[in-house]
Amino acid sequence: MKPLSIIRAITALGLALSCTVQAGEPRRPECIAPAAPGGGFDLTCKLAQTALVQEKHLSNPMRVTYMPGGIGAVAYNAVVAQRPKDPGTIVAFSSGSLLNLAQGKFGRFDENAVKWLAAVGTSYGAIVVRKDAPWQTLPELIEALKQDPSQVVIGSGGTVGSQDWMQVALLARVAGVDPHKLRYVAMEGGGELATALLGGHIKVASTDISDSIPHVQSGDMRILAVLADERLPGATTENIPTAKEQGVDVSWPVVRGFYVGPKVSDKDYQWWKNTFDQLLASEDFAKLREERELYPFALSGEELDAFVKQQVAQYRELAQEFGLIR
């Protein structure tokens, strides 16, 4: 082949590949985890990172970048204000992000400021005690709160208004106790919370089911209730009662998923949506999700958008009820 013909062939191949990329996958895929490495946002991004390459939706590995601050507030503001059109960037969110949106903690931007993409799994809240705690059931703990809330020191990995605090507030409502009168101690995270509970510095931990399972399996802790509608599958979790089956109408799912910038094109958004729809229907993805101790929860596109708006509205009502906003 003559040199000129070679050049033309290479050029044609390059144009074809360029068109393929433009019509399909993003050139520089990125997932922003709105926190430091190691937490739930990191887990969510790395779940997508692994699945998208493993199932050959991406030919280039997705990079994970970290943008901590305000349980998603810093990342939310950065994407909306500075990177609204970026077609290759998805951002992890959780129910905690939506709760903060409901309380106005994301500044001037609300739940309508981004395009909600896909929810890929959920965990659930849990009420945990040490193995030698005097309460064997959740109703027994609620009765103790009724009698004297000052005698029950409750800790969690979040401050007042956080998801874990909300779980406590809902239990206090059942007990007829002002949640602001509870002896509540905010911790930095799951590790500090476990240390405080095992050391006897707190008597109850309001946390997430996945953080608790290792300690339950070791015999150091007991879970009084998981805040799910039904018992969770699994050798350990199937033996843990829900709050509802104990007559306490409290549930708290911790949904995890992704959004994109508000000005991402419909074509690019649709590529991401179609890709996640395929992942969510995949048995291989289900295994990856299970390995990360997440449970099935699959929504995308308009269905997720409606869910998010509904959740934020409900969280806003709760925040008003508990005096967090006016």
Is residue 144 within 8 Å of residue 297, measured between CB atoms?
no
Q: What are phi and psi of 271, to 5 degrees?
A: -60, -45
Residues in contact with 109: Cβ distance below 8 Å, sequence separation at least 6, in sequence order:
76, 77, 80, 81
Say whether both 138 and 247 belong to one domain. Answer: yes
Distances in whole angstroms, Cα of residue 269 to Cα of each of 97, 306, 320: 21, 17, 34
Q: Is 37 helix (H, G, I), strand (E, B) or coil?
A: coil
Residues in contact with 219: Cβ distance below 8 Å, sequence separation at least 6, in sequence order:
131
Q: Is 162 helix (H, G, I), strand (E, B) or coil?
A: coil
Q: Which residues pair with 123 in a beta bridge?
A: 254
DSSP per-residue codes, 76-97: HHHHHHH-TT-TTEEEEEEHHH
Give the CATH number, domain containing residue 277: 3.40.190.150
The predicted pLDDT at position 12 comes to: 45
Say whether both 172 and 190 belong to one domain. Answer: yes
The predicted pLDDT at position 220 comes to: 92
Give the count of domains, the chain: 2
Rounded CA-CA distance 109/112 in Å is: 8
Say whether both 260 and 115 belong to one domain. Answer: yes
Residue 133 CB-density burial (10 A; 0-12 exposed, 13-18 middle, 19+ buried): middle
User: What range defines the domain where residue 231 resides?
Assistant: 124-253
Structural domain contains residue 5: no
Structural domain contains residue 15: no
The predicted pLDDT at position 189 comes to: 67
Say whether both 166 and 233 belong to one domain. Answer: yes
Say whether both 232 and 137 belong to one domain. Answer: yes
Boundary residue ending a domain (230, 253, 276): 253
Say whether both 156 and 258 belong to one domain. Answer: no
Say whether both 260 and 174 belong to one domain. Answer: no
The predicted pLDDT at position 9 comes to: 46
Distances in whole angstroms, Cα of residue 8 to Cα of each of 3, 15, 16, 17, 20: 9, 10, 12, 14, 18
Say whether both 228 and 130 belong to one domain. Answer: yes
Say whether both 222 and 277 belong to one domain. Answer: no
Say whether both 210 and 261 belong to one domain. Answer: no
Give the CATH number, domain containing residue 207: 3.40.190.10
Boundary residue ending a domain (227, 253, 279): 253
Structural domain contains residue 206: yes
Say whether both 166 and 153 belong to one domain. Answer: yes
The predicted pLDDT at position 23 comes to: 52
Q: What is the mean pLDDT of each run of 10 residues along the chain (326 residues)?
A: 46 42 76 89 94 92 92 92 96 94 93 98 96 96 95 90 93 94 84 89 92 87 96 90 97 96 97 97 96 94 98 96 89
Amino acid making up residue 271: W
